[in-house]
């Protein structure tokens, strides 16, 4: 696929990093020549220096035969105008714009942003993706990751296996025997080894879950609490819900998250912000029951005065990676139950994995799936980038019939997939138009067995330990005029 990326900042860099590894033809436009030279040195792509709203610059970047434009420059206005120029002058089929303004959701502003307006097919907002994702971690505090499929009806969660939890120490086959009615499947285990990175372990019935393993499980949404308890909590111990939250950093992400959590209710929230001017703005915008504190989140005295040992979740969300890391490590040492650090630099995120920081979250990774769904071939509904971009979870819809499809009407055992690809679950009964199913016929979440037959319109969710396997899955689900 031929793709133009406007903007070589943090988001543009991460998007280029992810897409270029999939053998796409990438061109990046930016006004900063030095930044482009750095990208060209690191990745197999082409850089064009210039303003993305200039038709001549877009033409030089190859807009006349481009399949996808991703406009993720720093300014909303630049991204929107670039999409319009791409639509009117070059007829680029798909145009995605990064928009920071919370008032410019595509669904509420179709006339302004849609075909007759700025010509945007999809709006992405990394800050909104982050707050939505962190909200899931608040809902499921024992999880390291929570990714949704089929409109939230199924989830992929990762959890750290703890000694004493009911299913830790069991073989996967034994788990199935002890809980046959639970619609869940363990699709991957990453095990810690001394002096080396976590290692991926393929899962079959003989695989045993050991304490310390990071376990990836696909399950129906309503069974996620049961799954987390079985792998992370001592038998008989109740779940500890998140009630006390401290947010370090009152920027866009911190403000959005505090506002979102306040709307949900039931939380005691403190926001720590170093800038006095920003504190005044936060106090004016947030509900009065949210406490805004001026100070440095790496200040041990401040954290002690604010009873950090009673905090259920500490979130370091500033724009400075080093501050986020140090604040999280300090909060954890002083007794915070769980800490999350927002880390932009991939090397830092890799270093923090497996340390006292419970979750090292990359802003780009939180929103990459929204872009990848447009790059995938076939009827791909959702994509989630995992393990810092190495692995992937993919939801794809089976279309056609036995004559023109390699999967529809066939048993799982008859589908030719690479051995490492794990078919995790099937959601059956969703309307083809994407609407809500009737109340008297809710969708089924099915754990596929070798004899399970794939039906047309089944939403099939896969776990792929390596992104290079994506094309093989897409190839199997592609509908052809005739299939032999």
CATH of the domain at 344: 3.40.50.720
pLDDT of residue 13: 86
User: In CATH, what number is assigned to the domain containing residue 447?
Assistant: 3.30.70.1450
pLDDT band with cut points at 50, 70 and 90 for residue 124 = confident
Q: Are residues 360 and 405 in the same domain?
A: no
pLDDT digits (tens, 9 = 90+) for 158-207: 999 999 899 999 999 998 888 777 778 999 999 888 777 778 888 888 99
Reported as a pLDDT band with limits 50, 70 and 90, residue 452 is: very high
Average the pLDDT over each of 46-50, 97-101, 144-148, 306-310 and give the range with the smallest value.
97-101
The answer, yes or no, to whether residue 433 has pLDDT greater than 60, is yes
Final residue before a domain boundary, out of 324, 339, 365: 365
pLDDT, one tens digit per residue, over 24-70 is 899 999 999 999 999 999 999 999 999 999 999 999 999 999 999 99
Position 236 scores a pLDDT of: 66
The predicted structure's pLDDT at residue 104: 64
Number of domains in the chain: 3
Residue-level pLDDT at 313: 95
Q: Examine the domain organization and report whether 381 and 293 are in the same domain.
A: no
393 and 448, same domain (yes or no): yes
SS (H, E, C) the chain: CEEEEECCCHHHHHHHHHHHCCCCEEEEEECCHHHHHHHHHHCCCEEEECCCCCHHHHHHCCHHHCCEEEECCCCHHHHHHHHHHHHHHHCCCEEEEECCCCCCCCCCCHHHHCCCCCCCCEEECHHHHHHHHHHHHHHCCCCCEEEEEHHHCEEEEEEECCCCCCCCCCEHHHHHHHCCCCCEEEEEEEEEECCEEEEEECCCCCCECCCCCEEEEEEEHHHHHHHHHHHHCCCCCCCCCCCEEEEECCCHHHHHHHHHHHHHCCCEEEEEECCHHHHHHHHHHCCCCCEEEECCCCCHHHHHHCCHHHCCEEEECCCCHHHHHHHHHHHHHCCCCCEEEECCCHHHHHHHCCCCCCEEECHHHHHHHHHHHHHCCCCEEEEEEEHHHCEEEEEEECCCCCCCCCCCCCEHHHCCCCCCCEEEEEEECCCCCCCCCCCCCCCEEECCCCCCECCCCCEEEEEECCHHHHHHHHHHHCCCCCCC
Same domain for 340 and 384, yes or no, is: no
**Per-residue model confidence (pLDDT) at position 483:** 44
Residues 374 and 358 in one domain: no
Higher model confidence: residue 152 or residue 306?
Answer: 306
Domain boundaries, position 252: 244-365
User: Does residue 233 fall inside a structural domain?
Assistant: no
Q: Is residue 281 very low, low, confident or very high in pLDDT (cuts 50, 70, 90)?
A: very high
Predicted structure pTM score: 0.84
Q: Which of 83-87, 450-454, 458-462, 479-483 has the lowest mean pLDDT?
A: 479-483
**Residue that terminates a domain, selected from 347, 365, 383:** 365
Kindly state whether residues 343 and 413 are assigned to the same domain.
no
Q: Please indicate, yes or no, whether residues 283 and 323 belong to a single structural domain of this protein.
A: yes
* Residue 161 lies inside a defined structural domain of this protein: no
Q: Are 355 and 448 in a shared domain?
A: no
pLDDT in tens, 181-195: 777 899 999 988 877
Specify which of 217-226, 337-346, 368-377 reaches the highest per-range mean pLDDT.
217-226
Is residue 448 in some structural domain?
yes
Model confidence at 356, pLDDT cuts 50, 70, 90, reads confident
Identify the domain boundary among 108, 124, 140: 124
Mean pLDDT for all residues in the chain: 87
């Amino acid at each position: 696929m031929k793709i133009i990326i406007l903007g070589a900042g943090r988001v543009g860099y991460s998007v280029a990093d992810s897409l270029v590894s999939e053998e796409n033809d990438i061109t990046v436009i930016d006004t900063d020549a030095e930044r482009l030279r750095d990208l060209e040195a690191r990745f197999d792509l082409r850089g064009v220096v210039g303003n993305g709203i200039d038709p001549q610059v877009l033409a030089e970047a190859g807009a006349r035969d481009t399949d996808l434009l991703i406009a993720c420059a720093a300014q909303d206005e630049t991204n929107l105008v670039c999409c319009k120029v791409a639509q009117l002058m070059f007829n680029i089929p798909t145009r995605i714009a990064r928009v920071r303004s919370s008032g410019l959701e595509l669904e509420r502003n179709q006339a302004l942003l849609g075909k007759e307006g700025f010509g945007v097919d999809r709006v992405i907002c990394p800050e909104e993706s982050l707050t939505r994702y962190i909200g899931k971690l608040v809902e499921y505090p024992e999880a390291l990751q929570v990714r949704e499929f089929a409109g939230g009806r199924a989830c992929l969660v990762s959890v750290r296996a703890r000694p004493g939890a009911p299913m830790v120490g069991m073989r996967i086959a034994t788990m199935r025997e002890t809980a046959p009615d639970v619609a869940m499947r363990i699709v991957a285990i990453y095990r810690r080894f001394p002096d080396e990175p976590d290692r991926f372990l393929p899962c079959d019935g003989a695989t045993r879950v050991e304490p310390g393993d990071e376990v990836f499980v696909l399950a129906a949404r309503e069974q996620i609490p049961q799954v987390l308890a079985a792998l992370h909590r001592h038998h008989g111990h109740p779940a500890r819900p998140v009630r006390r939250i401290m947010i370090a950093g009152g920027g866009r992400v911190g403000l959005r998250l505090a506002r979102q959590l306040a709307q949900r209710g039931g939380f005691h929230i403190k926001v720590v912000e170093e800038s006095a001017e920003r504190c005044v703005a936060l106090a004016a915008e947030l509900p009065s029951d949210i406490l805004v504190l001026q100070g440095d989140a790496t200040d041990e005295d401040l954290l002690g005065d604010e009873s950090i040992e009673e905090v259920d979740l500490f979130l370091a969300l500033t724009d400075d990676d080093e501050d986020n890391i140090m604040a999280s490590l300090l909060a954890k040492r002083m007794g915070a139950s769980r800490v999350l650090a927002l880390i932009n630099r991939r090397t830092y995120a890799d270093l923090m994995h497996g340390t006292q920081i419970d979750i090292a979250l990359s802003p780009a990774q939180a929103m990459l799936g929204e872009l990848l769904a447009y790059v995938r071939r076939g009827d791909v509904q959702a994509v989630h980038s995992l393990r810092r971009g190495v692995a992937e979870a993919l939801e794809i819809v089976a279309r056609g019939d036995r004559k023109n499809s390699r999967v529809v009407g066939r048993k799982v055992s008859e589908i030719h997939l690479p051995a490492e690809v794990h078919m995790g679950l099937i959601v059956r009964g969703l309307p083809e138009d994407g609407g809500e199913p009737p109340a008297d016929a809710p969708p089924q979440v099915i754990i596929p067995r070798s004899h399970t037959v794939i039906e047309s319109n089944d939403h099939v969710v896969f776990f792929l330990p390596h992104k290079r396997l994506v094309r093989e899955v897409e190839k199997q689900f592609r509908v052809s005029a005739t299939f032999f």
